[in-house]
């Protein structure tokens, strides 16, 4: 009886095994039709997509339909999946479970001021989405400890015990958390928004009347541990609440933007013209050694205009960020561009006038100013090209004074006693309707040779010879200008009317000195240049 039962059991088991191996249908890696599916068991082979694998077996027994973990970097997911489905969707498939893969284990994803307890794959996905760098901390393995790392840049009181003393530092949460890694500190605790001088923290730090500059260029109270407290406000020097938590400043000075030079308020504003600086002789503060220093250059008393004689005063001084033009002081202020002098740019910055920046020794570049604010007179200056080479050929004031194209000035004839200096280099003492009423000369005199050549003037004087007492010999020979002819240009001579000296020379020199580093004028060391050229042409004789 027992033998027959064993035989029957063996026969039944054999039938079961044969049924597993020899399935009646097929495992399709992917089916066909309008809604194809992955790893489906079908009775007909024609239900399987011919482009994919198929096997006459149950899907659980195939390698291509075996379930593992699909790591999808683009989606930021780790999900159970078959290999076929995973690779088809651009994922990386592993036969390991999610818990066995490092990139699929939860950790702390720090992104900006936020923290999220998630996988490394998901953390990387957030970096791509937000376009920022992330910091994944796999060693933080609980959500509570992860969230404690959020807002790492927020400031507060970091309380700790060091050498048996309960100390405190006003630092960021991250900096405080880093202290927990050191064996030198114990009992590290971060109190967001609190000051180290807060009485309830029971640290060795307390309030004081000392001040110093913060990173934002405001003046701050400091406690006895040299930690920053709130912005300096002398009215709250003994206010316990003001020494407990971080607060926005409320102090201000009436009609004083940026609290410039305020003795009681340290709420500086760089954009309004003030910043924290150590006080100097003459500065006043109710407490501490720092104040919101006025960034204007109030103490400057040098040249403060394109005029070489105008100086800054107690009420008219350079403003912070303002720049202006000056000339070489060696010229003595007698001319805007004396030979050998040049122009410079000066700038008022953070209350100090910087070292002059020279434009060009030959004035190919000159300092030019632009008034940005007509009401305040605020100016900016830069070294720019001196466009004056074609001034002399302009024959009307409109073209000459076109500042968009040229750097020229129009001088009327009265500047050289009414005589017309033509572009062909000759003196004209008469005018007609076609004669310009002035001459176009450079606004900024160049140091080049070509500009002086253009300014050279020649006066042709016609002379007649006569003999003293009618004796025709060399000893009695005399020459004089032929005043009977207007074209003789007798006015070019020094004594043509027995009263004026160097009339023509001085008149022409007015033009010549405006053309460049030439003519009769002092250079920057005080020496005069050479006189103009006088050419005398003899014509005819008289007895």
* 3-class secondary structure per residue, 363-387: CCEEEEEEEEECCCCEEEEEEEECC
Count of Cβ atoms closer than 10 Å to residue 87 Cβ: 14
pTM of the model: 0.56
**Long-range contact pairs involving 120-128 (C-beta distance under 8 Å, separation at least 24):** 121/71, 121/72, 121/73, 121/76, 121/77, 121/78, 122/76, 122/77, 123/76, 124/73, 124/76, 125/73, 125/74, 125/75, 125/76, 126/76
β-strands 343-349, 408-412 pairing: unpaired
Sorted by where each begins, the domain ranges of the chain are 23-104, 106-147, 155-294, 391-541
DSSP state of 259: G
Between CA 246 and CA 243 the distance in angstroms is: 8
Tell me the residue length of the chain: 543
Partners of 349 in the β-ladder: 352
Contacts of 264 (CB under 8 A, 6+ apart): 233, 234, 235, 251, 253, 285, 286
Residue of 412, 395, 427 whose CA lies nearest to 503: 427
- Closest by CA to 427, choosing from 484, 490, 514, 498, is 490
Q: Where do we find the tokens 């100090």? A: 352
Distances (CA, A) of 308 to 169, 303, 324, 328, 387: 55, 7, 12, 9, 22
202: left (phi over 0), alpha (psi -120 to 50) or beta: left
Within 13 Å of residue 541, how many CA atoms lie on the same side as its CB?
8
* Ordered per-residue pLDDT tens for the chain, 543 residues: 444 444 334 334 343 344 444 567 899 988 998 888 888 888 888 899 998 889 888 888 888 888 889 998 888 888 888 888 888 888 888 888 888 888 888 899 988 778 889 888 888 888 888 888 888 888 888 888 888 778 888 899 999 999 999 999 999 988 998 888 888 899 999 999 999 999 999 999 999 999 999 999 999 999 999 999 999 999 999 999 999 999 999 897 666 778 999 999 999 999 888 999 999 888 999 999 999 999 999 889 888 865 555 788 888 899 999 999 887 644 443 344 666 678 889 999 999 999 889 998 888 888 888 888 887 788 899 999 999 888 878 878 899 999 889 999 887 754 444 445 444 444 454 444 555 667 788 888 877 667 777 666 677 778 887 777 767 777 778 888 877 877 777 777 765 555 555 666 776 777 777 777 777 777 666 676 665 555 555 555 444
Distances (CA, A) of 170 to 162, 229, 239: 15, 8, 19
What contacts 24+ positions apart, CB below 8 Å, involve 108-113?
Answer: 108/136, 108/137, 108/140, 108/145, 108/146, 108/149, 109/134, 109/135, 109/136, 109/137, 109/146, 110/134, 110/135, 110/136, 110/137, 110/149, 110/150, 110/152, 111/135, 113/150, 113/151, 113/152, 113/153, 113/154
Q: DSSP state, 319?
A: P
The answer to whether the CB of 185 falls within 8 A of the CB of 160 is yes
Structure confidence at residue 155 (pLDDT): 92
Q: Six-digit token pair at 35? A: 């809604």
529: Cα within 13 Å, side-chain hemisphere: 20
C-alpha distances in Å from residue 533, one per residue of 80, 393, 504, 508: 103, 22, 11, 10
pLDDT value for 453 = 72
Q: Which ranges constitute the DSSP H helices of 81-142?
A: 83-88, 120-130
Q: Match 């999220």 to its residue by tokens.
A: 116
pLDDT of residue 476: 79
């Amino acid at each position: 009886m027992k033998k027959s039962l064993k035989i029957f059991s063996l026969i039944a088991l054999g039938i079961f095994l044969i049924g597993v191996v020899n399935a009646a249908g097929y495992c399709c890696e992917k089916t066909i039709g309008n809604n194809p599916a992955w790893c489906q068991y079908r009775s007909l082979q024609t239900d399987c997509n011919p482009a994919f694998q198929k096997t006459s077996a149950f899907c659980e027994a195939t390698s291509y339909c075996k379930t593992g973990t699909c790591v999808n970097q683009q989606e930021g997911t780790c999900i159970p999946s078959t290999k076929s489905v995973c690779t088809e969707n651009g994922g990386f498939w592993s036969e390991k479970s999610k818990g066995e893969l490092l990139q699929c284990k939860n950790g702390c994803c720090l992104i900006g001021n936020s923290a999220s307890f998630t996988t490394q794959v998901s953390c990387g996905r957030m970096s791509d989405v937000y376009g920022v760098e992330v910091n994944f901390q796999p060693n933080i393995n609980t959500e509570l400890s992860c969230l404690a790392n959020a807002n790492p840049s927020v400031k507060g009181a970091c309380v700790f015990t060091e050498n048996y003393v309960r100390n405190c530092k006003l630092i960021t949460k991250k900096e405080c958390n880093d202290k927990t890694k050191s064996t030198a500190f114990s009992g590290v605790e971060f109190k967001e928004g609190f000051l180290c001088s807060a009485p309830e923290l029971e640290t060795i730090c307390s309030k004081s009347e000392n001040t110093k500059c913060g990173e934002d260029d405001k003046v701050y109270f400091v406690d006895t541990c040299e930690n920053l407290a709130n912005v300096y406000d002398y009215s709250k020097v003994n206010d316990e609440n003001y020494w407990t938590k971080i607060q926005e400043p409320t102090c201000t000075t009436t009609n004083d933007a940026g609290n410039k030079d305020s003795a009681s308020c340290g709420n500086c504003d760089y954009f309004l013209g003030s910043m924290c600086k150590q006080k100097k002789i003459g500065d006043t503060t109710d407490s501490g050694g720092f104040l919101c220093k006025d960034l204007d250059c109030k103490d400057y008393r040098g040249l403060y205009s394109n005029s070489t004689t105008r100086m800054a005063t107690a009420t008219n001084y350079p403003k912070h960020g303002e720049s202006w033009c000056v000339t070489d002081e060696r010229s003595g202020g007698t001319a805007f561009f004396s030979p050998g002098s040049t122009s410079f740019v000066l700038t008022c910055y953070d209350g100090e006038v910087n070292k002059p920046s020279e434009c060009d020794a030959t004035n190919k570049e000159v300092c030019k100013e632009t008034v940005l604010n007509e009401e305040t007179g605020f100016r900016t200056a830069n070294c720019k090209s001196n466009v004056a080479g074609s001034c002399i050929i302009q024959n009307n004031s409109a073209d000459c004074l076109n500042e968009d194209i040229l750097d020229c000035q129009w001088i009327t004839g009265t500047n050289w006693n009414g005589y017309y200096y033509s572009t062909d280099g000759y003196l004209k003492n008469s005018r007609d309707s076609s004669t310009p009423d002035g001459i176009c000369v450079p606004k900024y005199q160049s140091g080049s040779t070509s500009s002086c050549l253009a300014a050279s003037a020649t006066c042709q004087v016609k002379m007649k010879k006569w003999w003293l007492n009618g004796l025709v010999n060399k000893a009695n020979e005399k020459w004089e200008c032929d005043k009977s002819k207007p074209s003789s240009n007798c006015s070019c001579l020094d004594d043509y009317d027995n009263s004026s000296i160097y009339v023509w020379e001085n008149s022409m020199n007015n033009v010549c000195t405006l053309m460049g580093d030439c003519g009769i004028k002092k250079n920057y060391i005080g020496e005069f240049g050479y006189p103009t050229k006088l050419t005398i042409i003899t014509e005819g004789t008289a007895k």
